[in-house]
Amino acid sequence: MSETADSPRRQLRRVRIGVVESDVRDKTIKVRIDRLSKHPKYGKYLQRRSAYHAHDEKNEARTGDVVEITECRPLSKTKSWRLSKIVRAFAST
């Protein structure tokens, strides 16, 4: 049984939007994802941050770009995300 690109299994993959922190390595970017979480006892909102390594096949993304990454099979020890698209390019002056 072959699966097509629109199969239900493909649609279950997680998608995240974040900022490129580093693009130094070949075909790899480090994406920072910020989120707010509420403290369970005190109710104060805390800023939390996660970093993911994503595969960038064409080396398109640059530091500061806002990108969308999609979960994929493990590509290396730390890489299990793939660059989907660049949402907004960082305008350097």
What's the pTM value of the predicted model, to 2 decimals? 0.81
CATH number at residue 25: 2.40.50.140
Number of domains into which the chain is organized = 1
For residue 3, being part of any structural domain is answered with no
Average confidence (pLDDT) over 12-31: 95
| pLDDT score for 69 | 97
Per-residue model confidence as pLDDT tens digits over 24-83: 999 999 999 999 999 999 999 999 999 999 999 999 999 999 999 999 999 999 999 999
**Predicted confidence band at 3 (pLDDT cuts at 50, 70, 90)?**
low
Instruction: State which residues form the domain around 41.
Output: 13-88
For residue 93, being part of any structural domain is answered with no
What does residue 67 show for φ and ψ, rounded to 5 degrees? -130, 160
For residue 41, being part of any structural domain is answered with yes
**Positive or negative torsion for Cα 25, 23, 69, 50:** positive
For residue 76, being part of any structural domain is answered with yes
Q: In the block, which residue shows the tokens 């970093």? A: 51
Q: What is the distance between the alpha carbons of residues 70 and 80, in angstroms, rounded to a whole number?
A: 9
